[in-house]
Structure 1
Amino acid sequence: MGSGTATRSPARRAAAPTLGVLTLAIMNVTAVVSLRGLPAEAEYGLTSIFYYTFAAVFFLIPVALVAAELATGWPEKGGVFRWVGEAFGPRWGFLAIFLVWVESTIWFPTVLTYGAVSLAFVGPDQTWDKALSSNKFYTILIVLALYWAATLVTMRGLKASATISKWGGLIGTIIPAGLLIVLGATYLAQGRPIQIQLGWDKVIPDFTQFGNLVLAASIFLFYAGMEMNAIHVKEARNPNRTYPLAILMASVVTVLVFVLGTLAISIIIPKTQINLTQSLLVSYRDFFKALGAPWLSSVVAVALFLGVLGSVTVWVSGPSAALGAVGRAGYLPPFFQRHNKHGAPSHILLVQGMLVTFLALMFVILPSVQAAYQILSQLTSTLYLIMYILMFAAAIYLRYSEPHTPRAYRVPGGAAGMWVIGGAGLIGALIAFVLSFIPPSQIKVGSPMTYVLILVAGNVLFVALPLFVYSRRKAAWRTAAGSRDFAPFNWEKPGGLGHPGAPSLDEEAEHEAPATRDHPLPGRRTPDGFGPDAGRHPYGDH
């Protein structure tokens, strides 16, 4: 998964383009590929091929191409905050960046559950391993221990978290992914019995079973994160040619990894026995057992565990740092702007930790670990999809509101091309969002009504919260560092006409300091409504 919040240093921005097709492709594959969700799609057998391909066409490729245009047209710090804010104003930009942070926060218990299961399967007794991994109290203990360990590493600064995430990604994702595919191919070549039915007619899904589409909708979020590397487009040689080729290559490799990895699980575990949290580890165990080396499954379990630790470490630091940077520009109260001596957003990390701890307790309250895992996964998906909907809409809008803004890369086909590609992503994200609210028939989630209410309440809460914070912002929240860090939106620069998303004069007056109301300063109204700085850019003088 990715946040779209990374930025480049000035020195790097000035460097000559050096990235080729292969390098960019590998970067994108690494950012997107994760094995955690394969069991959820393994239930569909050959039908998963259709879902993976559909999601790639309507989500993966549009995300990559649209994010590339946005990143090269508006490369300043802020990422998705910058892109959405440029189109619709800072209110919606703040919502977008907040959703990236909160969805990653909700995501932690689900991915750490996968880590807890991996750790449980290190032992030699599979029956005991399965029982341990299903134990709610064991799950909570490992989830919280892993999360707070990653938080402590993040508190030490970027260098510490980057080292762990780099090696964790290689050892815990890339190598196990290739190994799973090789094991599945070897198993088939030996002519061993398989657990799925073969045939081209099995590829097309049964659209009459509407409830079965719910888990399939989560495939869209398998591909989340491709926007993370879009900022590197300007470092590519001949980006209009290099980047599309790299995206095509990365998309093909990513789809193949997901399809072949999912089918590897499907051929060795019966559909009725697939478990969302355990089946990946069981697949490795069964494959190695068939090859006469069951002990190797413990090695893979350790590797997957390290992969989770690496992934969580980078996601603890990235979105929190991005939200902190935006907050210092005047969008969060001073309490949430605090950084420690290592430059880590300490107070945001602590608040995030308390929220993760609370969410982890859902594993005790809900009927089973698997049910809690599914609900949290779906809530993560819906919140992230809202951000993507804003991103696609912003890209289409900016083609008309700022047609002359230089872009090193443009979605091909002119305005029509943007409507086709950006529109495909927008429609795909909307479809996945709607389907995410339908209780899955494959998993016992307790009362379907409770399941839906939890999802609806979660979405309403986490969308309303940043909008409320934005409405209560004050001029005193802006710091000198925030003013220096952020460049103005194009529509705020001298000669700009303002933005349709700007607050009304009444709204603006509510955010002005009392002295400013009595003695207004000359200058144009700013869209952020920070009265004391009327006539200046809200992030500082430029």
Structure 2
Amino acid sequence: MASSDVMPSAKSPAKITVVGLAMLNIVAVLSLDGPPTEAEYGLSAAFFYFFAAAFFLIPVSLVAAELTTGWPEKGGVFRWAGEAFGARWGFLAIFLLIAQVTIWFPLVLTFAAISLAYTGPQATVDAKLSGNQLYVLLSVLAVYWLATAIAARGVAAFTRIAKWGGIVGTIIPAAALVTLGVAYLISGGTPQIQLDWGAAIPDLSSLNNLALAASIFLFYSGMEMNAVHVQDVKNPDRGYPVAILIAAVGTASILILGTLTIAFVVPRSETGNTQSLLITFINAFHWLDLSWATPILALALAIGVLAGIVTWVAGPSTALQAVAKAGYLPPFYQSTNKNGMPIRIMLVQAAAVSSVAVVFVFMPSMEAAFQILSQLAGLLYLVVYLIMFASAIYLRYRQPDRPRPYRVPGGLVGMWIIGGAGFVASALALASSLVPPSQIGIGIGSPTLYLGLLIGLAVLIITTPLLLYARRKPHWRDPASEVAPFAGAPRGDRPSGTPTRRLRPTATEAAADTDAEAADADADE
């Protein structure tokens, strides 16, 4: 992190325009593996998209901006939760983030496997191949281990893949999907859903529908990663919220139009599965006499998934390694390869992803497995967001004098309104994810079994970091760790040998801390 990210001087020019930051956030959040699941809602999907954007996406972005600028030290959610509630909560938050990503990998990689299947010359053969369990498993493992190998080569390698892969595999297919939907309607294509105002209002009395609708919240996850750029925007107090509003409207619009395109083209009985997006492209291209373009789009989608996987393999693993060096994991997990990447953590995660993939692919119903694993990943991520919102609110009381270059507008009341809205929305989404969807009965046995598996796995995953934290040893801490101790943390929340900091540092101490952080950042660069 450059020193200007911590405390930019008045002479430093803005590096990112409002529109530029909005586009950066759209690219970071947008993914096309979600719309097929929501297409079965038809027009009513728009309601859930806008609701999640207003009460989740925007609060996440604004709250994360305050936390990032107020606590620029390394660690992200680990730092924020630790400053608010102690190291135990910080370690829990970062561990759940890693667990969520590990579960998410096989799901999104299945999407890549299906995309690759549709690059063949015959659609009927491709459809059969996409449903072959052995093919899906081998494709998932091959793409993930390839992504791990790329990430292990260092920052320069995976950032290049992430940049161009995101453009080729997400932005271009998203634009193509929306264009096809508009062309299909304008040219007289028959929509497969009702187009009236009554269909736009969702049936909120159906708990089964709410279970699937809750997953929309996770389509917007990841916006907090770009909060670090808040100080790179001219007049951030006004410019940053405008950029977030543009990004929220842009992301929601693309997802809504993409979801509706699938709903227009694919019969409702065939929506809700991982093949729906490719079926949409096949049908639309055939209708436009452009069938040759289907394999190209399928390959592009697979490239986009690879790009996203590479980024998520490198980012959270590097964050976890920093936490490990602070004394929260054994020394085994602290080593890096010659490129500075946490290779042991990456290999352990690759083994875990492979195990989850085997279980996922060979369950009696892949669709049922997709539902339960996606709900589990969402549940874990929502717990992380609950911790983040609670930390932001509590830190306004615990460390009121902490310099915050960007603050959620409206003072303490504004933080309660915006942070509280995000907390309540996340809690409602989490509760909704515990309701078994009506589609789960096929292949999983019963709603009771579904709920038991979901809660049991969640409890197991949440308990694991608490046990690890309780068994940590003083000698685990690397003396060269760059993770600063938490301000005012009790001795039990700090690894042995770390210095004590006052809850509210003096102006001299704060300036010294800022200078030291800037020097460390420059050294890192």
CA contact (8 A) 1:445 1:451 kept: no
Alignment of 1:376-387 (within 5 A): 376-387=373-384
- Counterpart check, 1:242 vs 2:239: yes
Partner of 1:476: 475
| TM-aligned CA deviation for residue 535 of structure 1 | 5.5
Match of 1:112 among 85, 109, 113: 109
CA offsets 1:346-400 (integer angstroms, 9 cap, x no match): 1111110111111011134422222222221111101111000000000111111
Which secondary structure state, in structure 1, belongs to the residue aligned with residue 15 of structure 2? Answer: coil
Worse-superposed segment, 12-21 or 111-120: 12-21
Partner of 2:99: 102
Match of 2:70 among 57, 73, 82: 73
CA contact (8 A) 1:36 1:114 kept: yes
CA offsets 1:271-317 (integer angstroms, 9 cap, x no match): 11114210001101111111111111111001001001100011111
CA offsets 1:294-342 (integer angstroms, 9 cap, x no match): 1111110010010011000111111000000111011110111121111
CA contact (8 A) 1:136 1:363 kept: no
| TM-aligned CA deviation for residue 345 of structure 1 | 0.7
Alignment of 1:120-519 (within 5 A): 120-443=117-440, 444-447=442-445, 448-482=447-481, 485-491=482-488, 499=489, 502=490
Structure with the larger RCO, 1 or 2 (CA within 8 Å, 6+ apart): 2
Q: Distance in 1 between matches of 2:301 and 2:269?
A: 24
Alpha carbons of structure 1 residues 76 and 529: separation in structure 2 relative to 1, 3 Å:
closer
Worse-superposed segment, 173-182 or 439-448: 439-448
CA offsets 1:465-505 (integer angstroms, 9 cap, x no match): 111111111111111221xx1233332xxxxxxx4xx4xxx
CA contact (8 A) 1:37 1:276 kept: no
Which secondary structure state, in structure 2, belongs to the residue aligned with residue 76 of structure 1? Answer: coil
| TM-aligned CA deviation for residue 198 of structure 1 | 0.9
| TM-aligned CA deviation for residue 70 of structure 1 | 0.7
| TM-aligned CA deviation for residue 536 of structure 1 | 8.0
- Counterpart check, 1:528 vs 2:493: yes
Worse-superposed segment, 385-394 or 17-26: 17-26
Q: Distance in 1 between matches of 2:197 and 2:189?
A: 21
Alpha carbons of structure 1 residues 336 and 45: separation in structure 2 relative to 1, 3 Å:
same
Alignment of 1:44-83 (within 5 A): 44-83=41-80
Q: Distance in 2 between matches of 1:223 and 1:445?
A: 29
Alpha carbons of structure 1 residues 533 and 183: separation in structure 2 relative to 1, 3 Å:
closer
Partner of 1:515: none
Aligned amino acid, residue 175 of structure 2: G
Q: Distance in 2 between matches of 1:98 and 1:232?
A: 25
Q: Distance in 2 between matches of 1:128 and 1:147?
A: 25
CA contact (8 A) 2:115 2:299 kept: yes
Which secondary structure state, in structure 2, belongs to the residue aligned with residue 339 of structure 1? Answer: coil
Aligned amino acid, residue 254 of structure 1: T
| TM-aligned CA deviation for residue 50 of structure 1 | 0.6
Worse-superposed segment, 258-267 or 341-350: 341-350
Aligned amino acid, residue 266 of structure 1: A
CA contact (8 A) 2:137 2:358 kept: yes
Aligned amino acid, residue 457 of structure 1: G
Q: Distance in 1 between matches of 2:117 and 2:379?
A: 30
TM-score (norm 1): 0.89
CA offsets 1:174-197 (integer angstroms, 9 cap, x no match): 111011001100110001111010
Which secondary structure state, in structure 2, belongs to the residue aligned with residue 366 of structure 1? Answer: coil
Task: Give aligned-pair identity as a percent.
Answer: 52
CA offsets 1:33-88 (integer angstroms, 9 cap, x no match): 00101011100000001110111111111100110111111111111111111100
CA offsets 1:188-231 (integer angstroms, 9 cap, x no match): 00011110101111111112222111111100000001101001
Worse-superposed segment, 61-70 or 14-23: 14-23
Aligned amino acid, residue 343 of structure 1: G
CA contact (8 A) 2:326 2:495 kept: no
| TM-aligned CA deviation for residue 106 of structure 1 | 0.8
Unaligned runs of 5+ in 1: 1-7, 492-498, 503-525
Q: Distance in 1 between matches of 2:155 and 2:460?
A: 31
TM-score (norm 2): 0.92
Worse-superposed segment, 302-311 or 361-370: 361-370
Alignment of 1:86-101 (within 5 A): 86-101=83-98
Unaligned runs of 5+ in 2: 503-512, 517-525
CA contact (8 A) 1:329 1:486 kept: yes
Aligned amino acid, residue 444 of structure 2: G
Q: Distance in 2 between matches of 1:263 and 1:244?
A: 28
Q: Distance in 2 between matches of 1:208 and 1:14?
A: 49
| TM-aligned CA deviation for residue 529 of structure 1 | 4.7
RMSD of the TM alignment (CA)? 1.7
Which secondary structure state, in structure 2, belongs to the residue aligned with residue 46 of structure 1? Answer: helix
Which secondary structure state, in structure 1, belongs to the residue aligned with residue 438 of structure 2? Answer: coil
Which secondary structure state, in structure 2, belongs to the residue aligned with residue 205 of structure 1? Answer: coil
CA contact (8 A) 2:133 2:362 kept: no
Alpha carbons of structure 1 residues 62 and 399: separation in structure 2 relative to 1, 3 Å:
same
Alpha carbons of structure 1 residues 22 and 478: separation in structure 2 relative to 1, 3 Å:
same
CA contact (8 A) 2:6 2:72 kept: no
Alpha carbons of structure 1 residues 405 and 14: separation in structure 2 relative to 1, 3 Å:
closer
| TM-aligned CA deviation for residue 18 of structure 1 | 2.1
Q: Distance in 1 between matches of 2:201 and 2:216?
A: 16
Q: Distance in 1 between matches of 2:159 and 2:408?
A: 31
Q: Distance in 2 between matches of 1:532 and 1:325?
A: 17
Worse-superposed segment, 390-399 or 409-418: 409-418
Worse-superposed segment, 433-442 or 348-357: 433-442
Q: Distance in 2 between matches of 1:477 and 1:32?
A: 35
Partner of 1:522: none
Q: Distance in 2 between matches of 1:177 and 1:385?
A: 26
Worse-superposed segment, 383-392 or 439-448: 439-448
CA contact (8 A) 1:64 1:247 kept: yes
Partner of 2:521: none
Aligned amino acid, residue 446 of structure 1: I
Q: Distance in 2 between matches of 1:230 and 1:305?
A: 28
Aligned amino acid, residue 528 of structure 1: D
